[in-house]
Structure 1
Amino acid sequence: MNTAPHRAGHVAVIGRPNVGKSTLVNALVGAKVSIVSPRPQTTRHRLLGIATFPEGQLLLVDTPGIHREQKRAMNRLMNRAARGALEGVDAALLVVRAGQWDDEDTLAYDALRDAGLPVVLVVNQVDRITDKTKLLPYLAKVSEGREFAGVHPISALKRSGLEALVKTVLTHVPEQPALYGEDEITDKSQRFLAGELVREQLMRQLGEELPYATTVEIERFVEDGNLLRIGAVIWVERDGQKLIVIGKGGERLREIGMKSRLQMERLFGSKVFLETWVRVREGWSDDEAALRAFGYND
């Protein structure tokens, strides 16, 4: 019989862009609450993923990657959101990519150290390192002069090493009952998640720069029996970008809509009727008022 006390608490998931923070959150939650793409800074919002286990509950605060470049209001806001996630949490996961450590990893570690939090180092993508003998010297090097409450090599994508990680993290959160119901997976609304799933397809299907000039606003979200009627506006910054998103004969927009709808149906467990439009708002990503109107906050 398990007599260990039940634990529950908030855990910030921090790291530079594109190290697999959202993939890790989804793997721990056991459902897709955070969008994922190969592009850095896919995550723009602070998001709570609720991971429930027999021994306890981890409220995972997925954050935009901490980065040095602060060219636009969007970048500054994302950095503030990432740093703001450290307030009121019990512990933090510092996610890095196996075999790599650069200035932005140091920046993230320093932010956690300054916040006085227990930091568990999560070395992700160990499956990509073919010569595993290189892992020990790497772990020794990154641990030198830094204090970690635990070091866990994992693969978030393959869900390996997660059990031991959860065990360690639970020791750093308070003894208390679960803060959310067992079937709850996020504090975000279905409306918010619908917008994120459309944005995920934009990140996945468009070229290098364009995804960063796009955002999504859900204008309509209506439950009609077991059908969800959703209207999504894709905002871009220039007319030329609008043409790229729509594609030849509307082909790309149809593809984005179809893939988004399938993801929504999987996540929401109901049929979805999705309509998409593309509109232009010049310079929205460098305009704090526009960012707040589109639901971005720090």
Structure 2
Amino acid sequence: MNISDITPIPTPPAGFKSGFIGIIGRPNVGKSTLMNYLVGQKIAITSPVAQTTRNRLRGILTTPEAQLIFVDTPGIHKPHHQLGEVLVQNAQIAIRSVDVILFVVDASVPAGGGDRYIAELLNNIETPVILGLNKIDQQPSESEQLDESYQQLIAGHKWPIVKFSAITGTGLDTLQTLLIDHLEAGPYYYPPDLVTDQPERFIMGELIREQILLLTREEVPHSVAVVIDIVEETPKITRILATIHVERDSQKGILIGKGGSMLKEIGSAAREQMQKLIDGKVYLELFVKVQPKWRQSRQHLADLGYRVEE
């Protein structure tokens, strides 16, 4: 479905519930993968590189009895530059502006310092918290010690715990039921067929950034921003021009590759994902521009779409 093809907002049936659910956790615990699975469509990028989520992306799941609006936040971590500070501030703002907090951890490893830091942030929060143990498909057969480390993490709290895998879907029915139980009666905030409130341009840019992260890994980790410059739609094809901003000439060289090979590979893979998104043919042209130290400048961050959210 083209996410721009939406219907008017109907009147909810009796007993209908709705609300905003903040998905928080340290980087790379599977928050974006979880949201994609729950809404049934890829709207958030996923990558083995940590700290890939930058914007507060809303995913929308509508069932006959409820509408759940998931707010996928950047992984909470110690920031090392202005971009990192903006991301962490936005994640903390999200904690205070939702109806339920889903605190996601990586259950394939013991609770660590990053998990304890987030648990402390939630100490004085009145919002209901659910602890989600993700990646149970990667747990060893003897996982009692792992689970115990998370029991200790929330000692003193009455947070319910649910185990699941955002990859296989195991346990997600239980999670969904638990989340709905924690919501109050409410309206449809969005039309029932909408899966995200983000415009297609934003998701297109994220799909390009995802392929950069996947194909270059640590060579161009977080020094990249993507701006969609032009989207021209015709009955037969959608033409998209985008600019990839990096901080150094060496990163530009990596992204372009020998004879343009890397840029071609990035474009080809991103185009395939875009065609699934809009359900049609896409022509994609990519450009690379050097923007020195853009992550350190509030003005450059704002120009590229990264602002502290209200």
**TM-score in terms of structure 1 length:** 0.94
% identical aligned pairs: 40
Taking structure 1 as reference, are residues 4 and 139 closer, same or farther at Cα in structure 2, changes over 3 Å only?
farther
C-alpha distance in structure 2 between counterparts of 1:147 and 1:105, whole Å: 17
1:86 is aligned to 2:70: no
- 1:226 and 1:7 mapped to 2: Cα distance? 41
Structure 1's consecutive aligned runs of 4 or more residues displaced over 4 angstroms after TM superposition are none
Q: Which residue of 2 aligns with 1:222?
A: 232
**Is 1:142 matched up with 2:142?**
no
Does the Cα contact within 8 Å between 1:92 and 1:112 map onto a contact in 2?
Answer: no
The equivalent position to 1:176 in structure 2, one of 186, 193, 203, is 186
Residue deviations 1:217-252 (CA, integer Å, cap 9, x gap): 111112122421111101111111111100011000
1:200 positional shift = 0.3
Between the aligned partners of 1:123 and 1:92, the Cα distance in structure 2 is 14
Q: Deviation at 1:260?
A: 0.2
Correspondences of 1:39-54 after superposition (within 5 Å): 39-54=49-64
CA deviation profile, 1:98-117 (whole Å, cap 9, x unmatched): 03211211222222333321
**Separation in structure 1 between the aligned mates of residue 29 and residue 255 of structure 2, nearest angstrom:** 27
Cα offset for 1:130? 2.3
Matches of 2:266 and 2:177 in 1, distance apart? Answer: 39
TM-score normalised according to structure 2 size: 0.91
**Paired amino acid for 2:255:** V
How much is the aligned-residue C-alpha RMSD, in angstroms?
A: 1.5
Q: 2:286 aligns with which of 253, 265, 276?
A: 276
Q: Residues 17-69 of structure 1: CA distance to partner in whole angstroms, max 9, x if unpaired?
A: 0000000111111111110001101101111000112221110000000002x
Where in structure 2 are the equivalents of 1:15-94 lying within 5 Å? 15-68=25-78, 70-94=79-103
Runs of 5+ in structure 1 lacking a partner? none
- Judge conservation of contact 1:247–1:253 (CA < 8 Å) in 2: yes
Q: Which moved more, 1:172-181 or 1:128-137?
A: 128-137
In the TM superposition, residue 132 of structure 1 has moved relative to its aligned partner by 4.3
Q: Superposition pairs for residues 242-261 of structure 1, below 5 Å? A: 242-261=252-271
- Residues 282-291 or 109-118, more deviating: 109-118
| Separation of aligned partners in 1, 2:197 and 2:14 | 27
Deviation at 1:209, TM superposition (A): 4.5
Q: Find the counterpart in structure 1 of residue 139 from structure 2.
A: 129
Shift of 1:133: 4.6
Q: Report how many residues are paired.
A: 294
Report SS of the residue matched to 2:67: strand
Tell me how far 1:72 sits from its aligned partner: 0.5
